[in-house]
Amino acid sequence: MAHEENKAFLRRVPLFSGLTEPQLENLAGGSARRSYPKGRTIVAEGEPSQSMYILLAGRAKVQRSDSEGKEVILAVLSSGEFFGEMSLIDDAPRSASVITLEPCEFMAVSKEAFKAMLVQSPEVTMAVMRGLVRRLREADKKIETLALLDVYGRVARVLLDFSELVGSERIVKNKLPRQEIAKMIGASREMVSRVMKGLEIDGYIVPMPEGKLVLRERS
C-alpha cells in the first residue's frame, strides 16, 4: 500500500516525469515519505549522506555555519524542489544543512535508487543538471549582490526575489523575519531593521497583516 502511494507521489514530481512504469516501480521501492515539524534539521552540513529528498509541501532553508556558529542562508526551498543530491553525486560530506521553516513533507530517495535512476534515465539526469545549473545561476547572482550592492540594495533584492505578482501588485506573501534576511545578505539584524524602516518611510514597502509586504515603485 505504502509502495503504491509512494509511486503515486513520485509520478507527480516533475523531476521524475520522464520515468517509465518499471523505473517508477524501482524508484518507489527505494523511497519513503517523511513528515517533519518546523525547525527540524533534515540533512546536516559535514555529515555523510544516504538519501536525497524531494520537498512535497512546506519550505526549508539551506544554510552553512562557521565554527563560531555564525550562519548564512544560501537558499530557501519550496514545494517541488529537491536537495541532498550533491553529496550523492560526488560522495563528499553534506555541503550544507537543510532545516524546515514550517511543517514539511518529503519523499526521501535512497542513494542506490537515485544513482540507478541517473544511469537509467537521461531525462532524470538532465532534470538534475537543470536544477544544478539553476542553483549556479542563483549563486552567481548572489555573489554579484554581495560584491556590488550596499545593504539597501541587498535587502531590496531579497524582497524582490521573495515577492510575486498578485494582479498588479508585487507582494511578499510569506513572513520574512529580519533575522533570516540578515543571514541571507551578511548583515546584522539591527542593520536590516534600519533599512526596512527606511524603505517603509520612503514608501517602497507597505506592511500588511500576517507579515505580508506590498512592494511599491518610488511614489
Binding site for ligand CMP (CB under 6 A): 43, 49, 62, 74-75, 83-87, 94-96, 98, 135, 139
Q: Crossing angle for the helix pair 178-185 and 189-201, nearest 10 degrees?
A: 110
Dist CA 63 CA 73 (whole Å): 4
Taking the least distance from each CB to ligand CMP, the nearer of 4 and 91 is: 91
Dist CA 213 CA 159 (whole Å): 9
**Coil, helix or strand for 200?**
helix
Q: Do the Cβ atoms of 61 and 98 come closer than 8 Å?
A: yes
Burial class (CB in 10 A: 0-12, 13-18, 19+), 115: middle
Q: Give min distance, CB of 116 to ligand CMP, in A.
A: 17
Dist CA 63 CA 83 (whole Å): 12
Closest CA to 163 of 147, 150, 149, 176: 176
